[in-house]
Amino acid sequence: MDSALDIAAKGKELIKALDEKLVAKKITVIEKLHESTGVNRSIILMSGILALLSFIFFGFGANFLTNAIGFTWPAYRTFKAIESDDLKDDAFWLKYWVCFGVLTIADGALSFVLWWMPFYYLVKAGVVLYLMLDATRGAEVAYDFLVKPLLLKYQDFIDDSVVKATEAFTRAAGPEVEPELAPAADEWQAVEEMDNAVGDMAKED
């Protein structure tokens, strides 16, 4: 077994390596806190993560914090992806938002059951981080192996339901609103046909 001195030495090496990475990243908040307090960047980062996990673990605004994790950084990264010329990151963040949307819907539908699970919000935060982080890129795995097969299976049913719901709402809206809403079903159908055509072209290529 490693002695206490060996463990301490390894800990110092990890902190030093993390400090070097944070220096290279130049994260504004961490840099300002480091300059004002003199505390190591790695300690600031780990303290922030520990505080965040404590809030989630003990339930103080846990739902808000987990949703904030899932929205704020991904939203900024999506903005960066849109403004860049690389299409690969666009595809990744599109997959992320589909997965996050499915997770949010499932969370809302099953919240009365999931709320009673021990450490539920901690697990949810871990899932969200797994989906978004560059090191894991879990959104690609979740989309390709879970979400995509599920949506492909029920795609026709969902599209037909949207068209029928639009038509029913148009009829219920009355003659005053009907002229404005009537094209909605046709537009949805046109979008679906165009999407199918693009898919067929992609298969041919």
Classified as helix, coil or strand, 174 is coil
Same-domain status, 121 and 108: yes
Q: Residue 198: pLDDT band by 50, 70, 90 thresholds?
A: very low
Overall domain count for the chain: 3
CA–CA distance, 54 with 123 (Å, rounded to integer): 13
Same-domain status, 72 and 129: yes
- For the record, the structure tokens of 204 come out as 């041919």
Same-domain status, 71 and 130: yes
Instruction: Name the one residue in this structure whose structure tokens are 């699970």.
Output: 117
Helix, strand and coil content of the chain, in percent to the nearest 5, comes to 85, 0, 15
Summary mean pLDDT of the chain = 76
Q: Residue 145: pLDDT band by 50, 70, 90 thresholds?
A: very high
Same-domain status, 87 and 109: yes
List Cα–Cα distances, 154 to 159, 161, 164, in angstroms.
Answer: 9, 11, 15
Same-domain status, 69 and 128: yes
pLDDT per residue as tens digits for the range 28-37? 777 777 777 7
Which residue, 136, 160, 176, sits at the end of a domain? 136
Same-domain status, 38 and 68: no
- For the record, the structure tokens of 181 come out as 């809403």
Do residues 127 and 103 make contact, with C-beta atoms less than 8 angstroms apart? yes
- Domain range spanning residue 15? 1-58
Same-domain status, 29 and 66: no
Q: What angle separates helix 41-58 from helix 4-25, to the nearest 10 degrees?
A: 100
Same-domain status, 129 and 66: yes
Which residue, 58, 85, 100, sits at the end of a domain? 58
> Which one-letter amino acid corresponds to residue 143?
Y
Same-domain status, 153 and 166: yes
Same-domain status, 131 and 163: no
Which residue, 33, 58, 83, sits at the end of a domain? 58
Please enumerate in sequence order all residues whose Cβ is within 8 A of that of 108, keeping only pairs 6 or more positions apart, or say none: none
Q: Which pLDDT does position 5 carry in this prediction?
A: 61
> Which one-letter amino acid corresponds to residue 171?
R
Same-domain status, 30 and 68: no
